[in-house]
Chain A
Amino acid sequence: MNDRYSRQILFEPIGEEGQDQLSDKHVVIIGAGALGTGNAEILARAGVGRITIADRDYVEWSNLQRQQLFSEEDAKYRMPKAVAARERLEQVNSDIHVESLVLDAGVEELRELAEFADLLIDATDNFDTRLLINDISQERKIPWIYGACVGSYGLSYVILPGETPCLSCLLEKVPMGGATCDTAGIIAPVVQMVVAHQTAEALKLLTGNTTSLRNKLVSFDMWNNHYLAMDVQKLKKADCPSCGEHAHYPHLDPENQTKTAVLCGRNTVQIRPSEKGERDLEELSLSLSRLGGRIEQNPYLLSYSSDEEQRLVFFKDGRVLIHGTKDITEAKNLYYSLIG
């Protein structure tokens, strides 16, 4: 046994006992973007025994400014974020078990992910997935930690089923478009600030230091120098559809599932085929090559463009990203014209 964790063990509220607890815990991180890679690195270094990281996207150059586990190589080869993150985490700590999943976290996927999880960490970039996480958390009685940021603004809150208000209590209605698909950009320090708030609470939860939990909604604007910690306990609603007395988890209802989504600030539409199954990339490559155009491939995905405007990226899990449009109908037309 080396002294990898010695400084953390010296920290009294954690100690040997807390360190042992960490090594027995399983944390699921949903999203491997800025928040996901930040959370994953800290928790891997801290010695959380099992980390699962799930993401639907691949690494691009515009990610490198703030997504701390990725390298230029990852961007060059369009590595799936989850895979690139796992490979880096394995270099950082080979004592723990890291699992990567290249998928879009829908209801089924999240249910499976949550099966053996002690904690869910939100590192997504949209409200739809967060509301799914919120309902899964309530259904399975697993805590989750909300985190989000845009521009120089960030916020975080820990949701404990049966104790705190849930995200539905706090939001009531899903915020409209502009808030998620902001074009305001993002600076890395605010990512780190959100990550710090998420992981500090995660360490407390995972080591049983629940009396030290913050219990407040924190928000900060790091450019305008404003910091706030708000007690929102009074906003817990007895009639909340997600956490109230007659909770029915509305976001887990198949009726409410979207098969297509416009990705945040990306000029990209994602299509999830309704039938499950692995896509045969070799076969696809063969059929697309007859059409002309440019095909690039790695073991996880295939990128195809017939003209300058649009590019389609086919993942093994069946999903397709259509870059160069925000129009779902246009995206579907293109998809069906190629895939049938």
Chain B
Amino acid sequence: MKLIVNGASLDIDQARTIEELLVELKLAGKGAIVELNQEILDKSQHAETRLANGDKVEIVHFVGGG
């Protein structure tokens, strides 16, 4: 499946949901906020929201440094 993640085209092997995508991108547990096709998702929706070919995903994750 091909997705556009943060502006770049990305081939996804395993992930079928937002939550699985965050795991694949090593962004799980980083408080990530996700927009799917310009619609912001509540974190509670990450597990159930399924991905489709061509979806545009924007992800902001939190970091602690400063």
Partner-B contacts on A (CB < 8 A): 31, 33-36, 122-127, 130, 147-150, 153-155, 170-176, 179-182, 186, 194, 217, 219, 221, 224, 226, 228, 230-232, 234-235, 264-265
Contact = CB atoms under 8 A, between A and B. Distances in A.
Contacts, number: 94
Contacts of B29: 173, 175-176, 179
Main secondary structure of the interface of B (DSSP, over half): loop
A115 to B, nearest CB: 23
Pick from B31, B35, B43 the residue with the most CB of A within 10 Å: B31
A226 B33 CA distance: 16
Contact of B40 (A31, A172, A194, A230): A230
Given A124-B66, A126-B64, A230-B58, A173 B6 contact: no
Contacts of B42: 234-235
B23 interface: no
B33 A179 contact: no
B32 to A, nearest CB: 9
B65 A180 contact: yes
23 contacts: A36-B66, A125-B66, A126-B64, A148-B65, A149-B63, A149-B66, A155-B62, A170-B31, A171-B62, A173-B29, A175-B29, A175-B62, A176-B29, A180-B65, A182-B64, A194-B66, A221-B6, A226-B6, A226-B7, A228-B60, A230-B33, A230-B40, A234-B42
A217 B60 contact: yes
Nearest to B27: A179
A155 B31 contact: no
Given A226-B7, A226-B8, A230-B35, A235 B40 contact: yes
Interface in B37-66: 40, 42-43, 58, 60-66
Contacts of B2: none
Contacts of B60: 155, 217, 219, 228, 230
A126 B42 CA distance: 24
Main secondary structure of the interface of A (DSSP, over half): mixed
Contact of A127 (B8, B33, B61, B64): B64
Contacts of B6: 221, 226, 228
A125 B65 contact: yes
A154 B61 CA distance: 9
Given A219-B60, A230-B58, 19 more contacts: A31-B66, A125-B65, A148-B62, A148-B63, A149-B65, A149-B66, A150-B65, A153-B63, A155-B63, A171-B31, A172-B31, A175-B64, A176-B29, A179-B64, A194-B66, A226-B6, A230-B40, A232-B33, A264-B64
Contacts of A221: 6
Interface in B1-44: 6-8, 29-31, 33, 35, 40, 42-43
A35 B66 contact: yes
A326 to B, nearest CB: 16
Contacts of A171: 31, 62
Nearest to A218: B60
Q: Which 6 A-B pairs have the closest CB atoms?
A: A180-B64, A150-B65, A171-B31, A35-B66, A150-B63, A219-B60
Pick from B6, B58, B66 the residue with the most CB of A within 10 Å: B66
B31 to A, nearest CB: 4
A225 to B, nearest CB: 8
A331 to B, nearest CB: 20
Contacts of A219: 60-61
Nearest to B5: A226
B31 A232 contact: no
Contacts of A264: 64-65
B66 A148 contact: yes
Contacts of B62: 127, 148, 155, 170-171, 175, 179
